[in-house]
Amino acid sequence: MSEVRIQPASQTLVPGETARIPIRIVLDEPLKVRGLHATFHGAEETTATVTTYNAATKSTQTHTVVEHVDIVKTEYLLSGRERQGFFSNVADAFATLLGGGEHDVLDPGEYTFEIELTVPADARPSFEGGKCRVFYELSVNVDIPLARDMKALESFQVRGPSADADRPAPAPVRTRFPDDQERGLLDSWFGPEIRGEAALSRDVFVAGETIEGILLLETPEPLEHRGINVRLISVESSTAHGHAAAHVHQSEPVPITPAGTIDDRFSQQFRLPVSLPGPVTTNGERFTIDCFVQVEIDVPWAKDPKLRIPVTLHEA
């Protein structure tokens, strides 16, 4: 069976370094080939859901828009001629049908090529989110006249900076509720009257560490609750062709205190293992990923108050 094989020694690439990637084309019969092409493409990809209204049919339609911001895009000509446009390919196919055309005939057997992939030194690491991702892919295309092209695709992971890379020094962080977080209309109508403050000993963490903090709450009236939990969340905010999108990743909640009643004042220290809920803190051209420690107060028959403390999360 004829096929194209991309055979890297590793699927991991290092920013600023060059990797040699072997490519094998296996043919079990003679094949007319116009050209052998490869493309190494790394990009930031964002998606958004768009809903439009059709007044004529009085119906709504929902579709997804996708936008790419290139990080690296390198074209390779392995053999034959350069890529041609649509009309040139149609003309060449017609000529091939009549016994002409510009192509080589490859005999059955194996053909080996090698290309060099270089990731920019400042390239963002790979990740997969809910509304955005950063990817690096190598595609190989065998351009065959009058037939379906042979293709292969290989995805690569690009590592982020190591845990001991140059990063901002950790600092204590504190957030008040609702002073630092706007109390919206729904909170005013359905949320309990409560004021809170949370503080962490530092604001930068890597996977496997433990966050230490303290929670302080005040309420003018006794407030019954079904428990207070804390968890990590990462919030994606992105745009695609001018349309905004958002997605929240969250870890499993860790109880701070069981069900009870807050009478006037409440304070409790807590510890939270850093288990990454999703992508780490990142900034792109069309997206940002912000991470928080989120304290949640489970109040029956009311909108649960939530207090977010901004943190910076890195992979180990």
Q: Does residue 168 form part of some domain? A: no
Which domain, by its residues, includes 101?
A: 3-158
Give yes or no for residue 189 having a pLDDT over 50.
Answer: no
310 and 211 together in one domain: yes
70 and 179 together in one domain: no
111 and 244 together in one domain: no
The arithmetic mean of pLDDT across residues 141-163, rounded, is 84
Over pLDDT 70: what percentage of the chain?
A: 87
Residues 6+ apart with CB under 8 A from 179: 195
146 and 19 together in one domain: yes
Give yes or no for residue 269 having a pLDDT over 80.
Answer: yes
CA 74, 119, 113, 110 torsion-angle sign? negative
107 and 182 together in one domain: no
Query: Any idea which of 94-98, 150-154, 171-175, 290-294 has the lowest mean pLDDT?
Result: 94-98
186 — pLDDT class (breaks 50, 70, 90): very low
Which pLDDT belongs to residue 83?
Answer: 72
Which pLDDT belongs to residue 2?
Answer: 83
244 and 306 together in one domain: yes
CATH number, residue 221: 2.60.40.640
196 and 58 together in one domain: no
31 and 149 together in one domain: yes
Q: Does residue 180 form part of some domain? A: yes
Q: Does residue 215 form part of some domain? A: yes
Which residues are registered as beta bridge partners of 42?
A: 72, 136
- What's the total number of domains in the chain? 2
CA 248 to chain centre: 12
97 burial (CB, 10 Å; 0-12 / 13-18 / 19+) is exposed
Query: Distance between CA 136 and CA 153 in Å, rounded?
Result: 11
